[in-house]
């Protein structure tokens, strides 16, 4: 499948327009009526074989059959949601919605996958089937998990899944990937420590939850430093404390709360950390005559790239960028990503696309780099070509 330079440039130009439209009307979580309608309308206009909207509320699936006969089915996935923050870019196409902003580049991801759909539906020069997944609620809503729960992987016969996310600091036209764990699993916790309130001058008559909380925060750090292999990273951050009253400094409160987040890079370690956490928090509170009530809030799993599919993705990227612009040993990060749910169910790989020297993700000055669009679209087309026309993988 070859695309000539001028039609690729015009496709990238159209995608830029779509990207800027989406950018001006950011929407959150599962509530993406405008974005979802735009995506559905375009996919229908392109003549995709199937366009199914309304999965996970506003998710959209497009199926495009190759014209070269039956074969395997692969999914290309993008996310569509924005973030609840105020944009500070002063761009002419900046967000028109107060306190909502595309600060993670999902506008760009959506536009690139739309352009890919257009090209694939037009040429169909491949064997098998491409399923394009436009997903809501990546930012904290686990939209990928909800789409799986609503049956997309089985319903559309998806055998492999591929994702792409832009990466500030990586040169435009470059790609980066790693085999195995590439993003962390993230869980959150809130602990209520119940003691017995009393006069601070007579602490023996009370059971002090403040002292218990202070000791607990320190003790919990030992999970990272004393129970996990130093080569298996764990981050445990207490980020929230609440209790007592600054207007009553001679009063020991009856209860306090502490909370925070935990990041791990390995499913077994994640399980071990949770067990240890419950043990350490419960026994620490008990030692001070208090009781710990733990509200454990599971977050996204570890994002794990399948080794074979990582090679497929790297080969597809190398075909468009040149091998010297594809870093296959990019460091893992402590961020989380809900594409991890799809990678738990099907083999696949997530790749980073260079966003150049931009502000960081989730920064109010961030903007997706339109110059990256052409590279992202070429990657998707190359992946379909390499994987479905049998030139990558087995
Ligand atoms: Ni993102």
For residue 95, give the 3-state DSSP assignment.
Answer: coil
The Å distance, Cα 165 to ligand 1 centre, comes to: 7
What is the whole-number distance in angstroms between the Cα of residue 192 and the centre of ligand 1? 32
CA distance 108 to 236: 32
Distance of CA 104 to the CA centre of its chain: 10
Structural contact between residues 327 and 394, judged by C-beta atoms closer than 8 angstroms: no
Distance 288 CA to ligand 1 centre (A): 42
- Classify residue 277 by its DSSP letter: H
Q: How far is the CA of 19 from the centre of ligand 1 (A)?
A: 15
CATH numbers and ranges of domains, the chain: 5-183+302-389 (3.40.630.10), 185-297 (3.30.70.360)
Q: How far apart are CA 156 and CA 141, in angstroms?
A: 23
Task: Tell me the CA–centroid distance for residue 150 and ligand 1, in Å.
Answer: 22
Q: Measured in angstroms, how far is the CA atom of residue 91 from the centroid of ligand 1?
A: 20
pLDDT tens, residue order, the chain (394 aa): 667 888 999 999 999 999 999 999 999 999 999 999 999 999 999 999 999 999 999 999 999 999 999 999 999 999 999 999 999 999 999 999 999 999 999 999 999 999 999 999 999 999 999 999 999 999 999 999 999 999 999 999 999 999 999 999 999 999 999 999 999 999 999 999 999 999 999 999 999 999 999 999 999 999 999 999 999 999 999 999 999 999 999 999 999 999 999 999 999 999 999 999 999 999 999 999 999 999 999 999 999 999 999 999 999 999 999 999 999 999 999 999 999 999 999 999 999 999 999 999 999 999 999 999 999 999 999 999 999 997 655 4
Distance between CA atoms of residues 146 and 29, nearest Å:
12
Q: Do 272 and 288 contact (CB within 8 A), yes or no?
A: no
Distance 212 CA to ligand 1 centre (A): 38
Q: Classify residue 186 by its DSSP letter.
A: E
Report how far residue 117's alpha carbon sits from residue 138's, in angstroms, rounded to the nearest whole number.
21
Gap between the Cα atoms of 46 and 321, Å rounded:
27
């Amino acid at each position: 499948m070859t695309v000539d330079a001028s039609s690729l440039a015009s496709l990238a130009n159209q995608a830029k327009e779509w990207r800027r439209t989406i950018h001006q009307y950011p929407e959150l979580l599962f509530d993406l009526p405008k974005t979802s309608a735009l995506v559905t309308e375009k996919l229908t206009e392109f003549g995709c074989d199937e366009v199914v909207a309304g999965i996970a509320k506003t998710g959209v699936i497009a199926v495009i059959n190759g014209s070269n006969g039956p074969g395997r089915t692969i999914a290309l996935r993008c996310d569509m949601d924005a973030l609840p923050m105020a944009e500070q870019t002063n761009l002419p196409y900046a967000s028109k919605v107060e306190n909502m902003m595309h600060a993670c580049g999902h506008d760009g991801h959506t536009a690139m996958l739309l352009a890919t759909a257009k090209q694939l539906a037009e040429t169909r020069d491949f064997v098998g089937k491409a399923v394009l997944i436009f997903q809501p609620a990546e930012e904290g809503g686990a939209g990928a998990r909800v789409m799986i729960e609503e049956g997309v992987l089985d319903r559309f016969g998806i055998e492999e899944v591929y994702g792409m996310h832009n990466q500030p600091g990586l040169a435009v036209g470059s790609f980066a990937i790693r085999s195995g764990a590439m993003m962390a699993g993230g869980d959150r916790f809130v602990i209520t420590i119940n003691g017995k309130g009393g006069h601070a001058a007579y602490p023996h008559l009370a059971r002090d939850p403040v002292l218990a909380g202070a000791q607990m925060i320190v003790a919990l750090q030992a999970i990272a430093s004393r129970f996990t292999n130093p080569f298996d990273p764990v981050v445990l951050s207490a980020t929230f404390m609440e209790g007592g009253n600054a207007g009553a400094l001679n009063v020991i409160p009856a209860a306090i709360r502490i909370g925070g987040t935990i990041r791990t890079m390995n499913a077994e370690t994640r399980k071990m950390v949770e067990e240890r956490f419950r043990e350490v928090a419960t026994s620490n509170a008990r030692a001070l005559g208090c009781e710990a009530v733990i509200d454990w809030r599971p977050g996204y799993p570890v994002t794990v790239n399948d080794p074979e599919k990582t090679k497929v993705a790297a080969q597809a990227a190398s075909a468009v960028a040149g091998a010297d612009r594809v870093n296959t040993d990019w460091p893992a990060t402590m961020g989380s990503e809900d594409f991890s749910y799809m990678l738990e169910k099907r083999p696949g790989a997530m790749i980073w696309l260079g966003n150049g020297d931009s502000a960081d993700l989730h920064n109010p000055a961030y903007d997706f780099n339109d110059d990256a669009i052409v590279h992202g679209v070429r990657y998707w087309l190359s992946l379909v070509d390499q994987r479905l026309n049998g030139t990558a993988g087995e």
